[in-house]
A and B are shown apart, each in its own frame.
Chain A
Amino acid sequence: MKKRALFTLAVSTLFVGLQAVGGSSSVQAAEKTIKFGAPLPLTGALAPEGIKIQRGLNLWMDTANAKGGIKVGNERYKIKIIYQDYQSNTPRAVQTAEKLITDDKVNFLFSPFGSGATKAASGVSEKYGIPTIASTASSEAVYNQGYKYLFGTFTPNITLTQPLTNMVIAKRPETKTVAILARNDFFPLAIANVMKKSAAKRNLKMVFFEKYAIGTMDHSSALVQMKAAKPDWIFATGYLNDLILIRNQMSELGVKVPVLTMVAGPAYKEFIDGTGKLAENITSAAWWHPAVRYNGKGVMGKTENFNKLFKAKYNLVPDYAEASATAAGIIFQLAIETAGTLDHKKVRDALATMDTETFFGPIKFGANGQISSLKPPVFQIRGGKPLVVYPDVIKQIDLKFGIK
């Protein structure tokens, strides 16, 4: 009996001891790791976009960790990004963001993809007071909710359409009419609406403005109506699948136009691969382009260095979504290092007062949390490559007209 009691005592002591060792080591590990939550659409209709964000974030995490991680006061913390797939389902994005905060206990959060899901999930991070950076949300409606903890790396949509409109009119003054075909989705519709405003501001006549439903498999009726309206400029919005189909059907139905702008898709290599010669002379605008040149702070340094590291890791030329995701990571890192603490309120304040430059561009947020310092480039596809036509400091080619 005595032996048995001794044995039980020994086993329980060992068990408690092991627990203590395990506990202290996990505490140690937790002390040296900063957890970032990333709810992303890794499967479903938005999976290509979700994977792009993941690529950008992973590049930041790996590069920063290789250099010792994030410096907080006198200590260094490794970065750990916890990805959760919300399967391209916006309501699930909100649940996923909440799960990352409450179950995974992340310190900071990246927003889901696009303006719609970002807006939906922003209420969750605000409720818990978790600083959150959106890397792919541009609509002002996302930021004009009076939230304090949401910051975004994309300027308002009008900063894409206004320079484009000014340039088209300056280079081709006979441009008088515009036709717009927009995907009935948060961002594609928002950019179509600001294009409508930009066109009205420059006295362009709107000869066609229609929305198409998500999952539309045929655009021929809309295109035939557009063709009959004989516009000088067609502005089509949507994602890769839609825009590849629209461009191909334009060609099939003989829709020719002096200016064709598509947002958002032509910045992606997959668009050019999917349309081949039909991509020639399509214009677009995006928040970033590999041709921009900035002397960035943070782990990436200059833009050229980011391009090089991205190419080395993925054997791909980065596009604006991937670059923005990497930039979002760097912005978090710079804010945490400036604040010298992981305290949510202090990091949030460091983000709000940030005034710096990264490979992505100058970083300064407006009072609503949306970036105010970027000048998004306009580009045109020429010879199978997107080349910059605006702003002048990084211009690679002159704008050309004519879509066959």
Chain B
Amino acid sequence: MLYLQILLNGLLLGGLYALIAVGFSLVWGVLNVINILHGTFIVLGSYIAYFAHLYFGIHPFASVIISGSVLFCLGYVIQAGIINRVIAAPVLMTLTLTFGLDLLLNNAMLIAFTADYRKLILTDSLGSYDLWGLILPLNRVAGVGLAALLTFGLYRLLRDSNIGRAIVAVRMDREAATLMGVRVNRINAVTFALGALMAGAAGSIFSIIYPISPINSGLFLGKAFVICILGGLGSVPGAMIGGIALGVIESYGALFFGPEHSTTLAFVILIALLIFRPTGIMGRKGYE
């Protein structure tokens, strides 16, 4: 039962990890922009959920719509107004730019909200369910369910809608997409905005699980990097598989090697992947 409980914990953690990475992976894969702002976007989403709950009593699952919309707009403005100007430059340039923007946004949040940890406490918490000795933390289960729904929505959007197909086209061949009449700058902005939307939504869901502070942004960003490399860049299933793999590996790593080394096993596998399969588990050639 212990092993089964740890598997369940790992899957739930992995579901949350997948949501951290999916937007980050999309932006990196399509735009070739390593978005250092991603962790701060997640924290901003958490603050929106926190204040929406505090002042208007809105449940964080419902405020996913608000935080997602706010972050979508913010992401669109940042890409269209700033990053698009240097999008053709080498990746180091855009990395430095998002790093600088992250410093600005993160410090603005430190000034506005302080570094003190806040925690959203649900008055109507779902509690836990004992399923033949297997404990299901229901808030977490619901959060992961919503995360899966959002990720599936993004997956369908990319596959079924015109804008989604345009995003995939830009990812596959930027020049060819331009020649086919795709407005690449607009697609860039929409892609970045979708990445930010997913980060904002993740922030809302995380607000019921993690304490909120601007200083947590680095933690989320670090996980996003690892998941992208594990799962493969630019694809929604890649981020899902990478996230779940990391969650399960960390959970069993904590059991077998102690919590201190929970990430050791994950990093050993990561190094092995980088050597033998640099595209990641689900990645395609050209995105390593």
Contacts from A to B (Cβ < 8 Å): 43-45, 47-48, 51, 181, 184, 210-213, 215-222, 224-225, 228, 240-241, 244-245, 248-249, 251-254, 270, 273-276
Secondary structure of the A contact surface, majority rule? helix
Choose one: B135, B137, B216, B262; the contact of A241 (CB below 8 Å). Answer: B216
The answer on a CB contact under 8 Å between A224 and B6 is yes
State the CA gap A184–B260 with chains docked (Å).
7
The answer on a CB contact under 8 Å between A217 and B223 is yes
Instruction: Give the shortest distance, in Å, between A239 (CB) and chain B (any CB).
Output: 9
State the CA gap A184–B262 with chains docked (Å).
13
The answer on a CB contact under 8 Å between B259 and A270 is no
The answer on a CB contact under 8 Å between A218 and B250 is yes
Residue of A nearest to B219 (CB): A215
Residue of A nearest to B122 (CB): A276
State the CA gap A70–B118 with chains docked (Å).
39
The answer on a CB contact under 8 Å between A224 and B258 is no
State the CA gap A219–B117 with chains docked (Å).
18
B255 cross-chain contacts in A, Cβ below 8 A: 221, 225
Choose one: B12, B107, B211, B215; the contact of A274 (CB below 8 Å). Answer: B211
Secondary structure of the B contact surface, majority rule? helix
Residue of B nearest to A42 (CB): B115
Choose one: B116, B210, B247; the contact of A270 (CB below 8 Å). Answer: B116
The answer on a CB contact under 8 Å between B211 and A51 is no
Query: How many chain-B residues does the 8 Å CB contact rule pick out?
Result: 43
The answer on a CB contact under 8 Å between B259 and A211 is yes
Total number of A-B contacts with CB less than 8 angstroms? 112
A224 cross-chain contacts in B, Cβ below 8 A: 2, 5-6, 9
State the CA gap A274–B5 with chains docked (Å).
26
The answer on a CB contact under 8 Å between B260 and A48 is no
A-B contact pairs, 13 of them (CB 8 A): A43-B110, A44-B215, A212-B259, A215-B222, A221-B10, A221-B259, A222-B259, A224-B9, A244-B117, A244-B211, A254-B135, A270-B117, A273-B118
Extra contacts besides A210-B259, A241-B211 (19): CB < 8 Å: A43-B115, A47-B110, A184-B260, A213-B261, A217-B210, A218-B9, A218-B247, A220-B9, A220-B12, A221-B6, A221-B252, A224-B9, A225-B2, A241-B117, A248-B209, A252-B140, A253-B128, A254-B128, A276-B121
User: Scoring B residues 210 to 240 as 1 if CB is less than 8 Å from chain A, else 0, what string do you get?
Assistant: 1101011001001100000000000000000
Choose one: B115, B119, B121, B260; the contact of A212 (CB below 8 Å). Answer: B260
Choose one: B110, B130, B216, B247; the contact of A254 (CB below 8 Å). Answer: B130
User: Scoring B residues 10 to 34 as 1 if CB is less than 8 Å from chain A, else 0, what string do you get?
Assistant: 1011000000000000000000000
State the CA gap A249–B117 with chains docked (Å).
17
Residue of A nearest to B252 (CB): A221
User: Scoring B residues 23 to 57 as 1 if CB is less than 8 Å from chain A, else 0, what string do you get?
Assistant: 00000000000000000000000000000000000
Choose one: B10, B213, B260; the contact of A213 (CB below 8 Å). Answer: B260
Cβ of B263 within 8 Å of any chain A Cβ, yes or no, is yes
With A211-B260, A274-B211 in contact, is A220–B13 under 8 Å at CB?
yes
A240 cross-chain contacts in B, Cβ below 8 A: 117, 211
Cβ of B84 within 8 Å of any chain A Cβ, yes or no, is no
